[in-house]
Structure 1
Amino acid sequence: MKKLLAGLLLLILLFVAAGAAGTFIAVPFNEPPAPVSRAEPKPREILILSNPIHTDIALRLDAETLAQFGFLEDAGVQLHHPDAQWLIFGWGGRSFYMETPTWADLKPMPLFKGLTIDHSVMHVDLAGAIDVTQPWVTPLTIDDAQLHSMMDFIAGSFIRTDNQVASIGSYGAFDHFFEAKGRFNALFGCNTWTAQALRTGGLRTGLWNPIPQSLALSLKLFNPENTFQSP
């Protein structure tokens, strides 16, 4: 029993040490080159929404996001709902993500799959006004080209059949789950997907960000120029 406890403690310490190191090593390793343009890039706001274990990316619902993600409307996402202002995306393990809408719903098997290997899903949700001063919100600005690259990455994370997606479940009336590319595991999970999406959009993150707290810290450390400015 003592050896087992010692082994578990060592694994926890290694995880913490690796997470700390991953937070303070920036990716890309070199600063991305500035875009060659005489025109001032148009700032576009995005939000990173966090809870203790998971992060989502929120994009403003405008003509460009509606055009990019119009395929979701055919699958039941109410993109044109009059109160919708933000389109929210998250990637995660199918069993844990879909079967655990709240901590009270936690079950052993989804937890086990979430700690090992599972199929992945995309979760799509809608939101009205979001208070960007809340501690669970990390607001950032990027330019048009970065936004389009990020949207391409997000759209490319869905599994499609005949160029269409189909809802496989939901928590409520305004969200949907969809089959996603990739396999989920505890080392490379929802927050590393978020980090990859952000890097595709020209931002820098830590080398490895398994938890929301390390991702938020790396974003603040390596992207001071992307401070959100409210209109």
Structure 2
Amino acid sequence: MKIIKKVLKWFLFFLLIPITYIITSLILTTITIDRKTDTNSLDKSIYLSTNGVHLDIIIPKKDIDSLVLFGIKHNENENYLSFGWGDENFYINTPTWGDLTFTNAFKAMFLQSATLMHVTRYQRKRTDWVEIKVNELELQKLNTYLLHTFESNENGMKIILKNKGYSSMDDFYKSNGSYSCFKTCNSWVNIGFKESGLKSCLWTPFDFGLLDKYQ
């Protein structure tokens, strides 16, 4: 009987951890950090996209700083670039949700790991993107945030992982930072918005956190 009680106690303890995480995440997601600047001169557009779980930031190529664009593979007829950040092992070994394994998920959420920037190129705007109007200063700050996320070699060049993209339209690059349950792909986007002075969540690991504030 004592063994059963002990097992039950530990089961409830470990069950409490994810429940607490989810509840706390939902509460912090609903708390809005307001825009730092006024809404005048919002003559630029950026976009958010999601695959249902993972957020990307999309910027027209003409509005991407030359330092960010330097070293990124692109063609003249590609007018938009999307930027996503995440765990290297998860990105490379989980191209679809059908490839998800417990081991890959556990390593991404709880172990310190290398990360990648995922850059996808588009010729035209897509209807499912969420448009966000920004001013020049906000756009500059977002460009700076993206630039500092990329890892560079001793020559200042971004480090591409050759032939690792999911298609001919995307590539992976080495990035700074470590992924965890406290800094997810979506919280990376949220931090970028917060540092750029845009409306954001206090903190969120979810894609719908930012989307709900702009839809």
**Shorter-chain TM band:** 0.7 to 0.9
Task: Structure 2: give runs of 5+ residues left out of the alignment.
Answer: 1-6
Please, which of 32, 36, 40 is the counterpart of residue 32 of structure 1?
Answer: 36
User: What is the TM-score with the length of structure 1 in the denominator?
Assistant: 0.79
Alpha-carbon contact 2:109-2:179 (below 8 Å) kept: no
Cα distance between partner residues in 1 of 2:66 and 2:145: 15
3-state SS, counterpart of residue 183 of structure 1: coil
Counterpart residue number, 1:94: 88
Please, which of 151, 157, 167 is the counterpart of residue 164 of structure 1?
Answer: 157
1:55-204 alignment, distance < 5 Å:
55-62=55-62, 64-65=63-64, 67-73=66-72, 77-80=73-76, 82=77, 84-117=78-111, 118-132=113-127, 134=128, 137-161=129-153, 162-168=155-161, 169-204=164-199
1:14-53 alignment, distance < 5 Å:
14-27=20-33, 32-34=36-38, 41-53=41-53
The CA deviation at 1:66 is: 6.2
Number of corresponding residues:
205
Counterpart residue number, 1:6: 12
The CA deviation at 1:42 is: 4.7
User: What is the TM-score with the length of structure 2 in the denominator?
Assistant: 0.85
Cα distance between partner residues in 2 of 1:48 and 1:42: 17
Task: Structure 1: give runs of 5+ residues left out of the alignment.
Answer: 221-226
What is the percent sequence identity of the aligned residues? Answer: 21
Cα distance between partner residues in 2 of 1:127 and 1:193: 22
Counterpart residue number, 2:3: none
3-state SS, counterpart of residue 104 of structure 2: helix
